[in-house]
Amino acid sequence: MITIPFHKYGTPKYFYSWSLRLRPWLKYGCILLFTAGLVGGLWIAPTDYQQGESFRIIYVHVPAAWMSLFVYIVMALAGACGLIWHVKLGDIVARACAPLGAWFTFLALLTGSLWGKPMWGTYWVWDARLTSELILLFLYLGYIALQGAIDDRRTAARAGAILAIVGTVNIPIVHYSVEWWNTLHQGPTVSKLDAPSMDTTMLIPLLVMALAYNLYFVAVLFERVRCEILEFERNKNWVNELTQPKGIV
């Protein structure tokens, strides 16, 4: 069995060096994917019969919404690692995830609202998904506020991990209850944010954009984690050696 030395590669020092080596790949991969996705979404994909050109908002709305959920799960898992196994990198990753997740949620809400205006005639509906996204935004803001209010970083990380785990249990409950409440009060409406069966030429740019957003998240997350490592490990020798020119004493 192949044993991966997690405790070696999970330390801040090793993370810094191997993530730095990954950076050019992530950067150019992102540029490539975003270009491909935008070209596919704005040019190649045909105009929707029902919604006209406004459906193109899907290419920035849906990836942002998917990421907002995905980042929350990453945040909760990383926090759990830090809490249960005392993995320092877990704490740092969780803390770095939160603002990114909040921004993704904000973008999902904003673009969803802008899509809603031409479609439903109003900027906001208490539709199940938008309401759940709003609650998710509150979850992120609560997490960020809690970590900001506690002075000791280690305690803050662990308290945040509890909050994230409780939130993860809560998200499906909230989503289900809002959806249930929504269909009961508004009658069976087909969710207009769903493109029921999408043409392949419309679907592929969406998947490309989703991949682009994912790669972007990884790249920016690593950057933020590196910054935190530099800021709070600056008393360690290996950090000072980073800045020395190699081979010269």
Partner 1 sequence: MELEMSFFSMGGYAYFVWFSYGISAIVLLANALLPVMKEKKLLREIARRAREASKN
Partner 2 sequence: MRDVLNVASAVVLRDLRRYVRRRQDAVQPLIFFVIIVTLFAVAVGPDAEIFAKIAPAGIWVAILLATTINLDTIFLSDYHDGTIEQLFLSPAPLPLIVGSKIFSHWCATAGPQIAISVIVAAAIGLELRVVGTLAATLLLGSPILSLFGSVSSALTIGLRGGAMLQALIILPLYMPTLIFSTSAMHNAALDLPITAEIYFLAGLAVMAASLAPFASATALRIRLG
- Site of tokens 């900027």: 123
243 is a contact residue toward partner 1 (CB under 8 A): yes
56 is in the binding site of which of partner 1, partner 2, none (Cβ under 5 to 8 A by kind)? Answer: partner 1
Q: Pick from 78, 92, 159, 206 the residue near partner 2 by CB under 8 A.
A: 159
Structure tokens at 157: 């990380």
CA 4 to chain centre: 26
Q: Does 144 bind partner 1 (CB under 8 A)?
A: no
Helices (H), 40-186: 58-85, 88-120, 128-149, 153-186
CA 50 to CA 71: how far, in whole Å? Answer: 32
Binding of partner 2 by 146 (CB under 8 A)? yes
Pick the closest to residue 113 from 204, 48, 192 (CA basis).
Answer: 192
With vertex at residue 133, the alpha carbon angle to CA 130 and CA 134, rounded to the nearest 5 degrees, is 90
# residues near partner 2 by CB under 8 A: 26
Does residue 42 bind partner 1 (CB under 8 A)?
yes
Q: Tell me which residue has tokens 């999408």.
A: 198
SS3 3: coil
Q: Does 148 bind partner 1 (CB under 8 A)?
A: no
Asked if 95 is part of the footprint of partner 1 (rule: CB under 8 A), the reply reads no
**Residues within the interface to partner 1 (CB under 8 A):** 42-43, 47, 52-54, 56-57, 60-61, 64, 99-100, 103, 106-107, 110-111, 114-115, 117-118, 216, 219-220, 223-224, 226-227, 230-231, 234, 239-240, 242-244
**Residues within the interface to partner 2 (CB under 8 A):** 135, 138-139, 141-142, 145-146, 149-150, 155, 158-159, 162-163, 165-167, 169-170, 173-174, 177-178, 180-181, 184
